[in-house]
Structure 1
Amino acid sequence: MDKIITETAAQFDYEVALQVARQVLKKPDSVLCLATGNTTEGIFNELVKLAQGLSIDFSRVRTVNLDEYVGVSPDDPTSCRYRIEQQLFEKLHIPKENVYVPSSTAENAQQVCEEFERHLQELGGIDLMVLSTGENGHIAFNEPGTPFGCQVHIAKITRSTVEAKAALFGGEDKVPQAGVSMGVRSIMMTRRILLVAKGEHKAPIMKKILCGPVTEAVPASVLQLHNNVTLIADRAAMARVDCD
């Protein structure tokens, strides 16, 4: 696993954005898979600056999102689709037909999972994924205990994630109970992964992810087995990591 450690959060945002920009310059029709959340908001801001400053054309890029909440409308400000469109897609002028974010109700969630899986196959795989991890080691909605062999599936939102998302949704009781998520196996089939981590609150889990055993109890630990992962983290997130 390659490692890029930055001294500040601002440097972290720029470094991740730079890696994505390089991918698009190298392959203008790249398939990108991007996480949404607090970790990636600054990254997206820097990527927009780079794209505009260097006139990078994103019109041929195709994107998929890792996950989406079940029962949340795409135009709801709490949805993954709404946030990434506002923060990134619209500013980079990526055509809507090139964007895939699963959208489901409780009634058709399983059908959406099957459609998502077919779409990944039709794209021919993902070239570059920006992947963040939760404080319990989850990746996408693959919470601790998720089998490593799972593909796109309906995932139950755990208590720790409900607490983490309560402010976004306006209360724990308003956080959705499930999500459509790319599975661990689906993630591991990506050609190159950028594992990104920022902030001292991520330090305890980064030690487990990077130094501990590969275990379903820490889903992100499986990335130790991927042959093309670049870790990009700020110094605060790496404060407890002592395995080289």
Structure 2
Amino acid sequence: MKFKIFETYEEASAYSAELLAEVIRTKRDAVLGLATGSSPEGMYKEIIRRYEAGEIDFSQVKSINLDEYVGLTGDHDQSYRYFMDTHLFNHVNINKANTHVPQGVGQDLAALAKAYDELIENLGGIDVQVLGIGANGHIGFNEPEHELHLKTHVAELKPETIEANARFFESRDDVPTKAVTMGIGAILSAKKIILIASGESKAEAVKALEDDFISTHVPATLLKLHADVTVVLDKEAASLLTK
């Protein structure tokens, strides 16, 4: 696990964008595992800038997103499909048919989750997976538990996760309490992982990535089992690191 620390979120975002762009330049039909939320927003802005400068081409790229809220359709302005369209897909030459987000609406979400894992397998796996990290150490919506799911599943969101996401909704009561998320096994199967964290609120969770343990109660620590993880931080998120 490599730690890259920058003075500002903007510098960290630029570095993350370059890591992602390099994968696309190396493999024109790369399968990108993408994340939503505030952590990767700056990276997506930088990616769009590089695309507009003619540095990268998305025409053959495919994407797989980590998660989606249960109960929100893709046209809801807080759905993760809407986020991806707004923050990346609408601004580059990617074929929307090649962009995939878990379905949070349907009568059999378990079957849809299973089909999502099959889709990832049929695409040949994920070349690079982008992650954020929750203040409680969750990745995707794999929340701290005694046991963690390997595969895509419906997750119950912890109160602290609901509270953290409430800022994006009109009220806390509007925040969905469940999400469909890729499991730990699917995340760890990616060939390369980029984890982005910014702000002091993430410092405790980031510190756990440096410590010499893994725990399902801090799901992100399982990333230590992966051979190619780059953790990209601003100085606030890195403030508790000691090495």
Q: TM-score, normalised by structure 1?
A: 0.96
Deviation at residue 212 of structure 1 after TM alignment: 4.8
Separation in structure 2 between the aligned mates of residue 212 and residue 164 of structure 1, nearest angstrom: 27
Higher mean C-alpha displacement, 38-47 vs 97-106: 97-106
RMSD across aligned positions (CA): 1.3
Matched with 1:191 is 191
> After the TM superposition, which residues 211-230 of structure 1 pair with which residues of structure 2 at under 5 Å, given as runs?
211-230=211-230
Look up the SS of the partner of 2:36 in the other structure: coil
**More moved, 11-20 vs 202-211:** 202-211
Q: Find the aligned partners of 2:194 and 2:14 in 1 and give their Cα distance.
A: 13
Distance 2:208 2:63 in 1: 30
2:88 corresponding residue in structure 1:
88
> 1:101-156, CA deviations, whole angstroms, 9 ceiling, x for partnerless residues?
01132622112101101101101100001111000000001000163452111100
Q: How does 1:156-167 map to 2 (within 5 A)?
A: 156-167=156-167
Please report how far the alpha carbon of residue 92 of structure 1 lies from its aligned counterpart in structure 2 after TM superposition. Answer: 1.0
Q: Give percent identity, aligned residues only.
A: 36
Match of 1:41 in 2: 41
Specify the SS of the correspondent of 2:213.
coil
The equivalent of 1:169 in structure 2 is: 169
Q: For the residues of structure 2 that align with 1:148 and 1:68, how far apart are their CA atoms? A: 18
* Structure 1 counterpart of 2:66: 66
Which AA in structure 1 matches 2:8? T
Q: Deviations over 1:159-193 (max 9, x none)?
A: 01110111212111111121110001111111000
| Structure 1 runs, 4 residues or longer, greater than 4 Å off | none
1:38 match: secondary structure? coil
Give the count of matched residue pairs. 243
Aligned mates of 1:20, 1:111 — CA distance in 2: 31
Q: Secondary structure at 1:57's aligned position in 2? A: coil
Residues 178 and 106 of structure 1, relative CA distance in 2, 3 Å threshold: farther
Of the structure 1 ranges 145-154 and 6-15, higher mean CA displacement relative to structure 2 is found in 145-154
Compared CA separation, residues 146 and 191, structure 1 to 2 (3 A) = farther
Give CA-to-partner distance per residue, 1:58-84, whole Å, 9 cap, x none: 110000100001110101110001011
Tell whether the 8 Å contact from 2:142 to 2:148 is kept in structure 1 after alignment: no
CA distance in 1, matches of 2:170, 2:215: 33
